[in-house]
Each structure stands twice: as structure tokens, then as C-alpha cells.
Chain A
């Protein structure tokens, strides 16, 4: 930082910071102004964005989960469904969007939701299959052998073991879906995509940023919330970070070597 000792350099740096701050604050002020302007119907766009996120997430969850449960124990069916959904996912969402317009013969909400759902199915499906396959069959056999009913095996053994893996799939799918929601703006699906597209076309940077930052914040929010949910449904015995219960293991057993088999 030697050059900062020169007065001229210090002044230059200070004025640079001032300019950047100036632009920033004007930009944020302009964005707030845009949001506050009732003609821009920010609230309606937010609701549309949420609808375009939540509906595909729920649909992807329902389809991915039930398909996963159906095929998990059937290797051929699992292979086909995982690759088929993966293939659909490989087609760019933009293309899917236009295919859906042709299929439904309409624009707007419905084709947007379908295109976004297609995006969300693979992570949930794959994690459901992996989660169900990951359950130790001997744990299930032991449960049955001890006299658990089918329901008890499901609720006490399978679900607690599978839930964290499925939650991870939902987290991935949700963030992907939310990040892709603006694409709906292309076909009149509404939401923040409208701001981004209009912002680009009109070179209205504050408008563009309201849409882009809005989506980014929503995706981050979903990421954090679902990460917390994933932690919450992960039983202590499966967590990577050891709970306090491990502390006594450092001690040797007072009963002696017997237990240290």
C-alpha cells in the first residue's frame, strides 16, 4: 500500500469509492422506486414468481417421489425412468418451453409449470431411488423379525433413513426450478422474468436488476431454508458432525476390556 502515501493517489482512491457508492445508492434508490411504483405491480409479480416456483416444486416432488418408490426395487424400471427423466432434463428448458406451447396450444402459466416440473423431477427421483436402496436390508429384516408391522417398518425404519436423502433432492430441485423461473417471462408466464426481459429490451437497468436480484434472493432463501430442513430431518445417528454423545468414547470403559471387542 505504499502508493497510498502519495496524496494524489489517496485522493483518486477516495473519489473512486465515492463514485461507486454514488452509483450503488442511486441504483438501489431507483430499484426501490421501481418497486414502490404501483403501475409496475411488483406484488403481483412476486406472487406469480412464487406460484411458478412452488407449483413445479410440489409437482416434481409428487412425481419424483412416487415414481421413485415404485421403481426403487425394480432395477430395469429404475434404469429406464432415471434415464428417461434425465434425458428430458438434458433438453434445454427453453426448448421444452416451446414444445409445451405446441403441446398445450397455449402460452402462459401451464406450459411454464410443466417445463419447470420436468427440470425438478430427476434430482428427486434419483435421490428417492438411492435413498430407498441405501436402507440396510438387514435393518428391515431385523424389524420384521422383531414383530414390527409393515407400517412400523415404514415409519420407524425406512422413512427416517430415506427422508434426509430425499430432502437433499428437493433442495437441489427447488434451487434449479427457482433459478429457471424467469424463463416463463418469455411466454407470458409472468413473474420476475417480465422485469428481466423488459429491462433488457428497454435498457432499464433498475428494472432488470429488480427481477434478477429478486430471483437470486429467492433462490438463496430456498437454499438456506431447505438446507435447514434437511438438517432437521437427518437423525442424529446419521449426521456427519458428531453429536455430543460421542464425547465419552474417548474414555475407556470402566468394565474393562470386555466391552472393547
Chain B
């Protein structure tokens, strides 16, 4: 595991009016999935490619576990970092097995030594080794190819994984499956993952931390809930859909709607649950309340009234923060 620190990172290209990446600083903690979210041209991919020094920053530095990347040999650095790209980039002339063992192989390991590791990795990404080991990339679907891409990136057991819109070229169903799969894999391997996306849903689904980029600048950085609750600007509010009441229910914890416990609370709900499942249970119960418990201790309760009140207050805060705000076309109607 590793911590990645970005310190005043700037990348300027000659002949460009504005920097591609402009004075960006933030920290990704060990074992976290950090989503770099932004539109195309926001500098998110440039930022990612500076981590493994495919691009070198003009100024500032990136530290992995405190060591600036510029102090390391770029080749050795890249071999210690997993890299997954949208176009997958499997080698068409090599079997799946040989594709997965590319990094161990350039590190000088033989096929015999890495055989078990390849099997383990193919299992991990949901491909049966006996069936897929000897096949070739063109015999696989796009989704299967990206699974191999993920296995290949994990082959040398890197502490850091860089993913550049890895699921961007896949259809919606395959993308959702691979997102689930990635979360599954991550539970086992606990890598520090930097993940570039322009898809807000993907950012919220996968991210422990979201870094919103726009025109090379870091606009806001925080957990999905922080972004929803306190968007730093109208841009972020529109991007993350802070006005979207469903997303609020999906990501706000039940503790956001806590009220003092009463006799109405016949059933219990864990404190780390989200508002949406609580709301669904409250609707099923028709009335009443859920006791919110953490480690067997009752913190309070949530009821339909308290849930609505909390969402309204979040929304009021958001409106107050931006003065008069225009409801964006795609936002859900607000309950008043």
C-alpha cells in the first residue's frame, strides 16, 4: 500500500495559453480509490500520467510514500505501478497468459515461475485460467479484454494502480459488471487506486475520494458525501447533481437524518447505512421509525419526517451557499 501526494503540480505545454494542470495539490491515502472526475480537457489524464512519469510535471512534485517520483528511474517506477487504459492495449501476438505476465517477464521471471500467479490473477478477475490462458486477445470480448488488462496491471503486485477511463469504451451493462468486479478485487488487494473518469455515476459508485478537475485546476476534493453536501461551486453542484434528491438518498448516511429516539422505533438499522435503504424500509413499514444503532448502542432514530427534513435542510444550505440558484434541468423536483 502506498500514499500518493500531489504537491503544487503544474504542467505547461509550450504554445498553450493555459496550463494543462495548474497548481494541483491533494493526497490519496493508502488503499483508497481516488476518482479524478472532470470533462475532457480538464487535465485529469495528464495528472494521472504524471504519476508514472509518462509525462513529467513542469513544476511541483508527486510523492509516493514520501519519495518524489522524479528521484526514481522512470522505467523502475512504471514497473512498480499498475497501469490500465481505456483502449486496453493488450499485445495481439501474445496469448492471454503471456499478456498477463508481461511485467514479471520484463523483470526477468520465466513462464514457469509466474504460472501460478497468472492462474491466480485470471481467477481474481473472473476468467477461468484453464479456458483462457492459451487464448489470444482477438478471441475475447471487450469486457474480457479489460479483465485481462486489470490482471496484467496487478501481475507484479504493485502498491499503486493507475486507471485511465478503463471502462469508458464498454457498454453500460458490461461497465457496471466490471465496476462491481473492481470493487470486489479491491476488497482483496487493497491497492491505492487513481481512477480517471468523466462519468459522475462511476465516480460515486467506486470512489472513496473524488477530485473534481476543471480547466487544469482542482475545483474540489472530498468524499462523495462531502461533495454532495457542500459543493464548492455551481460547477461542482451541477456536475455531482447536488440537487438530485435521489443521489442524496443514495449517498447520505442515515445519521444525517437523526432525531431523538422514541417508542415508534420498532426496528433497527446500522448507523453506516445510507438514507435510501432506510427510506425504503420506512415506506414499507408505512409509518413508524428505525432505531439507528452503532455497536449495539442506539444513537437515535430516523422517520419519514426526519428524512425529508434532512434532505430539505441540505438543499436549503446548498441554495443559500450559491445565492439564488437555478434548478438544473436534470435535477429532481424538491420536496417542500
Contact = CB atoms under 8 A, between A and B. Distances in A.
Interface in A142-170: 142-149, 152, 156-157, 160-161
Given A245-B134, A261-B177, A145 B85 contact: yes
B85 A255 contact: no
Given A145-B78, A145-B85, A235 B93 contact: yes
Contacts of B281: none
Given A142-B85, A259-B144, A246 B92 contact: no
B130 interface: yes
A62 B95 CA distance: 32
A138 B88 contact: yes
Given A237-B137, A248-B130, A259-B126, A142 B83 contact: yes
Contacts of A259: 126-128, 131-132, 144, 147
Contacts, number: 116
B78 A142 contact: no
B78 A144 contact: yes
Nearest to B131: A248
Interface in A123-149: 136, 138-149
A2 B143 CA distance: 66
A39 to B, nearest CB: 54
In this complex, the member of A142, A146, A148 whose beta carbon has the largest number of chain B beta carbons within 10 angstroms is A146
Interface string B139-168: 101011001010011000000001000000
Given A238-B92, A238-B93, A147 B54 contact: no
A237 B138 contact: yes
Interface string B77-99: 11110010101111111110000
A148 B106 contact: yes
B103 interface: yes
A139 B106 contact: no
B136 interface: yes
Contact of A139 (B52, B91, B130, B138): B91
A146 B54 contact: no
B85 A139 contact: no
Interface string B35-79: 000000000000000001010000000000000000000011111
Interface string A226-261: 000000000111100000011011010111001111
A149 B75 contact: yes
Nearest to B122: A259
B144 A142 contact: no
B37 to A, nearest CB: 21
A160 B87 contact: no
A145 B90 contact: no
Contacts of A143: 89, 91, 102
B101 to A, nearest CB: 11
A246 B135 contact: yes
Contacts of B89: 136, 138-143
Given A235-B93, A236-B136, A261-B147, A253 B131 contact: yes
- Listed from nearest, the 10 A-B pairs whose CB atoms lie closest are A142-B89, A261-B143, A147-B79, A147-B78, A138-B87, A235-B93, A138-B89, A237-B136, A145-B83, A245-B134
Interface of B: 52, 54, 75-80, 83, 85, 87-95, 102-103, 106, 126-128, 130-132, 134-139, 141, 143-144, 147, 149, 152-153, 162, 174, 177-178, 181
Interface of A: 136, 138-149, 152, 156-157, 160-161, 235-238, 245-246, 248-249, 251, 253-255, 258-261
